Every structure is written in structure tokens, then in C-alpha cells.
Chain A
């Protein structure tokens, strides 16, 4: 058996495990944690398209989550439009916002882009908190919007149990991973990596770095907004402080950086490592040691940056390679 076969089998095994998990995990709490884990893995994978491959540091992706969540919620509450359609509309709006932000800033050096994205997200949050009615649309300011669970069913994007949400976010995650894989193998992907590592050299070779980054930003903001709709339908309540929060923007970036930006498994690995830490810290130490998980995040982040600047995916995938490539024992008869 060669290593390619093992890779395929391992991949299928992980997939089968992911799809079978709800059959084993019956507790609603654990399922909830798993859904949020996949939700963050999805967000981080989307972030990774611009934050990982393009080598810039967006720190305001919660803004796109908010645009997605608010668009589909307002459309479904006021006009009865299915959240699935609202999801796409929100994605397009977020994409436009992403392009407007990226157009002037992606040409600049790293720090400015990071600051611009923070300012955009914070500015958006403050605006949403201050506006009750945007023209005919009710956004309800700081109180947020509640989605009454009236009709369940696929077209309403509303379910009585958590399993359907689990499968929806799992499929969304797999699709966005596939897309990332395709992007990383495409011309755009090579342009992004070239521009991320050596912008001057890439430009000298005729690569339009700013344009490649802008496309990445547009794709990334579109995908991020889709998760916003998912979150709104999953939690049935959105308000600006929770959904357009700086904490969310930073958590997405943390997960990517610790897992390994610019790789496909990095965001998944990061979410698998960090999300349980934050959930369990909140469950067990929420009262006695508030903020413990954020201290752990910060420490891990600094250590990873110091000793594994490409993220934890690197040592782990090296370990995996070593295991599957080790010499076969003669007795196995292969």
C-alpha cells in the first residue's frame, strides 16, 4: 500500500466519522459545540483565502458575518423571503463591501490593511447600534433581531433539532474546503502566494498582486457572509455586539494563525484545538476564572508565532508523513 492510498483511506475515514458523529453524539449540548466548531472552521477557511494565501491580515471579518446575518434575517422577517435566498443576497452585499474596503487598502502595507478592516467592522457595528430603521427595513438598533421559530422545514432554514444544522454546516465546510483546494491549485492561488511572500518580486514578474488580492477578498467576504445567515438561523437571535464583534474577528484570525494560515488543514486544525478549549473553559471555569480561554489563546498564539510561525499544521503533517512513509515491516508481506 503506498502513501497515496493511505491518504485516501484516511480522508474517507475522517469524512465517514464526521457524517456519523451525530448518530453517536446524542447530547444537544455537545452537538451545539460541534456545530459552532464547524462554524468557526468554515469562517476561518473563508478568512484563509485572503488572510492566508494573500499574506495580508484582515481583522474585521465579523463585519461580513453581520452583513450576511442581517440581510437574510431582515428579508425573511419583513418580506417572507426564504433565508436561502437571503443568504445569497447577503453574500453579494458582503462581497461589494469587501471590494470597497479592499480596493484602496490592499495596495498598502500590512498594518494599514489590518487597521482599515478593524475600523470598517467597528464602524459598521456602531452604525447598526444606532439605526432602528434603515429606510423601510427594521434593524432594531442595539436590541437586535429575534427570529420567531414559527415554521420548521428546509425551505425556512429552520429545524427543531440540531442534527440538520450539523449537516448543513458540515457540507458548507466541505464545499469551502474544496473551493480553497481548487483556488490553491489555480493561477489565482499562485499569484496570491507569490504576492504574499514577495510582493515586489511578484509585481516585477508581471503579477497584478493588488488585483489577485482583491478577488480573494471578494470571494472571502462572500463566503463569510453565508455563514452569517447560518448563524442567524441557528441561534435565532442576532444583535450587533455578538455578531459584529471584534472578538469574533480576532478569534477567526487566531484560529487560522495557530492552525496554520495559507494551508487547507490549518483552519480545521486550529478550530479543533481552540474551540473546545474556549467552550470547556467557559463551561467549567466561566465563573471562577473568567477569560481563562483568552489567556490560553494569547499564550498559544505567541508560542506558535515564536516556534512554528507557519502554524501547527506543519509539525503535525510532518509527523503524519513520517508515520505513513515509514518502512514496511518485512513480515507484512507487502
Chain B
């Protein structure tokens, strides 16, 4: 029984980190109405940036956030501004341009393979760091410290994004654009600039997720693909565009992955996740917290 409880707690912790990795995806979808297929690659870039930042300076992993957040924001902002924006302008009248999906897929392939060229295929782990292998003892249960840090970070990030979206002028403009592009434009909001900012914020939260992962996760050029597919499942499960949904969706996946192996072979849990995803798509495509008109 205690094992199940321990697995449940660890599942919730890991799941909230999954939710954090998917948060950027859902923010970007909420505003641009486009699935960013390069999302996993953004996470991968974030992980390499934090890996090198921590490796070269030797600071506590979470101090790297000071560097990773702005770098990832600028990276996402420029990516949207230089590569994706021209397509939005060319396909002004299309609500959900499929072409953008294709272009982000191209970005995914370029980023992943460029990283492969630069850093090689080997797995890198941070190794010696203050969080490595730390466990929190709760009675007879062991809770992973880096995952606990990740859990707290996920909640804080979600709260911060929520605050930003509701209390700042830029946040309100972003929400207005996500609700109705035309009306927002008529109110004097530059929708393309909003897209840039939203993409930047999405990339920055992905950078935060990368920092929470790096103390206990290996980094390699295709690491993003694992989180890419998982991210798609999480955001559809929680409802595309919903930040709460991303966290809840992440926790559901985390629980299946950690509690599932008690009852079956671990590799089967992956099949269950895909099955659940298809069921949600067929039965309730708007997800748990999504708005109905968004699908």
C-alpha cells in the first residue's frame, strides 16, 4: 500500500514537470491557434543551454534560470518573428493555417539535427550537482528532491503566467488576441507583435521546464521528441489553450506512468497513454478544460 502511495506522490511530482514542459505548447496554441511541432526542440535547446550554463559556471542548477529564461524568450520571439510570421501574413484569412504546423516541423528537424552535428549523439548528464540523487524521507517513503523542486517550480510558473495574463496590459492584449484576432486588431493591438511575445513566453516557460529536468535527466539531441509527443497528449487531454489543463493533463500522464507499472509491464503504460489520448480525441476533443469553439 505504501508503495502505491509513494508511486502516486512521485507520479504527481513528475506529472507536474510534464505539465510544465507542455505549458509553452498550450500558451502558444491558445494565442496562435497553431500546434508548435518544434516544441520538443525548444525544450531540447533549453536543456542544452541550462546544461552548459550550469557546467561552465558551476552554480546551483536553479540559478541558471536567470540566464535560461531571457535566452529562451529571445529565441522563441525571434523564431516566430523571422520564420513563422511571414506565413501568418501570407495566410491572413486562414484561422488555423496548416502550413505553420509544417514549418514548425521543419524547425524541429533543423534544430534537432544541428544539435546532433554540434554536440554529437552522446547522452550528457549534469553529474555532480547539489540536487543529484537527493531524497526526501517521509516516514518510510522516499520522495525525489529534484522532482519536488520541479513540482514547486511548475506551480509557481503557472501562477506567474496566470498573473501576467490577467494583471498586465501586455497579458490582457494577449488574451484579447487569443479570443478574437480581428476585434483585438481593431482595438489597436498589433497581433503579430502579440504572436511574437506569446511565442517568447511559451519558449521561456519551456526553458524553465528544461532547468527543472536537467538535474536528473540526460540531455541528447532527440530528447525533445519524447516530450513532444507527450506534450501533445497532455495539452489535448487538458484542453488546448488551458494552462490549468496542461498541469492536470501532465499529472494524469505522470500517474499512469508511475502507478501503472505496479499492475503491468512498464512499457505497456506507454500504450495506455496513447490509447487514452485517442479516446479523449474521439469522445471529448476539447479536453478537460478547453473551450469548445477551439476545435
Contacts and interface: CB of A to CB of B under 8 A. Distances in A.
Given A119-B278, A126-B271, A301-B103, A111 B35 contact: yes
Interface stretch (B64-72, B94-102, B155-163, B246-254): B94-102
A119 B90 CA distance: 30
B96 A110 contact: yes
Interface stretch (B10-18, B113-121, B146-154): B113-121
A57 B34 CA distance: 13
A292 interface: yes
Binding site secondary structure of chain B:
helix
B106 A305 contact: yes
Given A57-B102, A302-B103, A309-B99, A295 B109 contact: yes
A291 B282 contact: no
A111 B281 contact: no
A291 B35 contact: no
Query: Interface size class for chain B?
Result: 35 or more
B35 A115 contact: yes
B35 A301 contact: no
Contact of A123 (B98, B102, B105, B278): B278
Given A123-B274, A309-B90, A109 B295 contact: yes
Query: Interface size class for chain A?
Result: 35 or more
Given A57-B98, A104-B281, A114-B101, A119 B274 contact: yes
Contacts of B268: 130
Interface in A205-241: none
Contact of A57 (B101, B233, B267): B101
A93 to B, nearest CB: 18
Contacts of A291: 112-113, 116-117, 221
A281 to B, nearest CB: 11
B108 interface: yes
B96 A257 contact: no
Interface string B278-295: 100110010000000001
Contact of B117 (A120, A126, A254, A289): A289
Contacts of B109: 250, 294-295, 297-298, 301
B128 interface: no
Contacts of B259: none
Given A126-B267, A130-B267, A295-B113, A115 B102 contact: no
Interface string A99-127: 00000110011111011101110110011
A306 interface: yes
B282 A111 contact: no
Contacts of B274: 119-120, 122-123, 126
A324 to B, nearest CB: 30
Given A105-B281, A123-B274, A126-B271, 12 more contacts: A110-B96, A114-B101, A120-B274, A120-B278, A246-B225, A295-B110, A295-B117, A298-B105, A298-B107, A301-B106, A302-B107, A306-B87
Interface of B: 29, 34-35, 83, 86-87, 90, 96, 98-99, 101-103, 105-110, 112-114, 116-117, 121, 221, 225, 229, 232-233, 236, 240, 265, 267-268, 270-271, 274-275, 277-278, 281-282, 285, 295
Interface of A: 55-57, 104-105, 108-112, 114-116, 118-120, 122-123, 126-127, 129-130, 246, 250, 253-254, 257, 289-292, 294-295, 297-299, 301-302, 305-306, 309
11 contacts: A104-B282, A108-B281, A111-B35, A111-B96, A119-B232, A123-B278, A130-B267, A254-B105, A295-B117, A298-B106, A306-B90
